[in-house]
């Protein structure tokens, strides 16, 4: 469970894993899997067989061994990790965009948030954590099977008390009238968001904030035109995250003995080098080397924010 409502079951690294818990099995930063623990369950992977019965009673973050002596880590299923392991029914928002959205929508505990475009539920999960324990997220998707799968995921992660999934064509019908003037924030992930902006404006409280996610700049232009009449402080952002690899390398420095006129600059250590026997004294020292990662994501989409005007 990502966020149990019962304080007695608060999820932390101090709480021990129980039968029925959801855990994230961590092999490496790009290889993780969500697993539901069962007394007689066995996880099979390239490292061997891991018995669930040996996980029960261990705290989250534990290192567990397989029958082959290899290991994995058992991590708590936070919203960030869930985004990395969930099933992709649609293109999802990742952590950089999600954190930006939660901050700029000014979402705090107790907020009521409307979302159109549930998709795989990546953003919805973080929205639910942000509004807990007294707020609520109402999310809508026009695709019935996709909505049903999202409900199952929220049940699995313990968020069903914070999230209600509805099946509705928001782009064609707008948001339900029952939310008129009640929403603190609205998030749109739609092909034609400008069609929904009038309805979103009616749902927001005075000074409420709207965000629209669009992959194409042409969508942004049309949305900004539609926002002019009832919204202010319209801003668009593109979040580009660049990651770096940090690794330790052994650098070998060589000094030439007196009588040898050749000088050699410091260089990387080479295996099998026999130069130390030819009048050269070499010393090795660990050095941290940093370079841009080849895994960095490029453009994901544009985030357009606007605040509802307060009319006297």
The model's pLDDT over 37-56, given as tens digits with 9 standing for 90+, comes to 999 999 999 889 999 999 99
pLDDT at 135: 97
pLDDT at 252: 76
Compute the C-alpha angle 126/168/102, nearest 5°: 20
pLDDT at 256: 62
Q: Is the pLDDT of residue 275 over 60?
A: no
Rounded to whole angstroms, the Cα distance separating 100 from 235 reads: 13
Written out in words, the top-level CATH class of the domain with range 16-77 is: alpha beta
Q: With bands split at pLDDT 50, 70 and 90, how would you rate the model's confidence at 306? A: very high
pLDDT digits (tens, 9 = 90+) for 56-99: 999 999 999 999 999 999 999 888 899 988 888 888 888 899 99
Rounded to whole angstroms, the Cα distance separating 221 from 210 reads: 16
* Chain mean position to CA 65: 27
- Domain limits of the chain? 16-77, 81-236+303-308
Rounded to whole angstroms, the Cα distance separating 151 from 166 reads: 9
Span 285-307, mean pLDDT?
85
Residue bearing the bigger pLDDT, 204 or 4: 204
Q: With bands split at pLDDT 50, 70 and 90, how would you rate the model's confidence at 242? A: confident
Q: What DSSP letter does each residue of 12-62 carry, written as one string? A: -TTSBP-TT-EEEEEEETTEEEEEE--TT-EEEETTEEEEGGGTTTPBTTE
Q: Is the pLDDT of residue 12 over 50?
A: no
pLDDT at 249: 83
pLDDT at 14: 57
pTM of the model: 0.79
Q: Which fold has domain 81-236+303-308?
A: Rossmann fold (3.40.50)
What average pLDDT does the chain have? 87
pLDDT at 228: 93
Q: With bands split at pLDDT 50, 70 and 90, how would you rate the model's confidence at 13? A: very low
pLDDT at 184: 98
pLDDT at 163: 97
Span 232-253, mean pLDDT?
88
Lowest mean pLDDT across 67-76, 103-112, 256-265: 256-265
């Amino acid at each position: 469970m990502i966020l149990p409502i019962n304080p007695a079951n608060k999820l932390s690294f101090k709480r021990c894993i129980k039968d029925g818990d959801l855990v994230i099995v961590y092999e490496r930063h790009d290889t993780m899997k969500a697993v539901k623990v069962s007394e007689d369950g066995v996880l099979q992977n390239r490292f061997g067989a891991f018995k669930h019965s040996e996980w029960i009673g261990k705290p989250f973050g534990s290192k567990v061994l397989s029958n082959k002596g290899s290991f994995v880590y058992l991590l708590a299923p936070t919203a960030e990790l869930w985004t990395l392991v969930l099933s992709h029914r649609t293109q999802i928002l990742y952590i950089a965009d999600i954190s930006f959205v939660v901050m700029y929508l000014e979402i705090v505990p107790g907020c009521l948030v409307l979302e159109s475009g549930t998709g795989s539920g990546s953003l919805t999960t973080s929205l639910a954590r942000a509004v807990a324990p007294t707020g609520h997220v109402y999310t809508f998707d026009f695709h019935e099977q996709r909505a049903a799968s999202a409900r199952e995921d929220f049940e699995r992660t313990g968020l069903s008390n914070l999230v209600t999934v509805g099946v509705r064509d928001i782009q064609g019908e707008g948001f339900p009238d029952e939310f008129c003037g009640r929403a603190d924030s609205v998030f749109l992930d739609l092909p034609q968001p400008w069609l929904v902006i009038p309805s979103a404006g009616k749902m927001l409280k005075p000074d409420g904030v709207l965000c629209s996610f669009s992959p194409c700049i042409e969508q942004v232009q049309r949305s900004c035109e539609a926002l002019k009449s009832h919204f202010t402080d319209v801003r668009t952002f593109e979040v580009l995250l660049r990651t770096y690899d940090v690794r330790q390398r052994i650098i070998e420095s060589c000094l030439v003995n007196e009588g040898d006129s050749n000088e050699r600059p410091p260089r990387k250590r080479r295996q099998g080098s026999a130069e130390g026997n030819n009048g050269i004294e070499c010393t090795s020292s660990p050095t941290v080397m940093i370079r841009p990662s080849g895994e960095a994501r490029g453009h994901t989409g544009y985030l357009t924010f606007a605040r509802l005007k307060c009319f006297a």
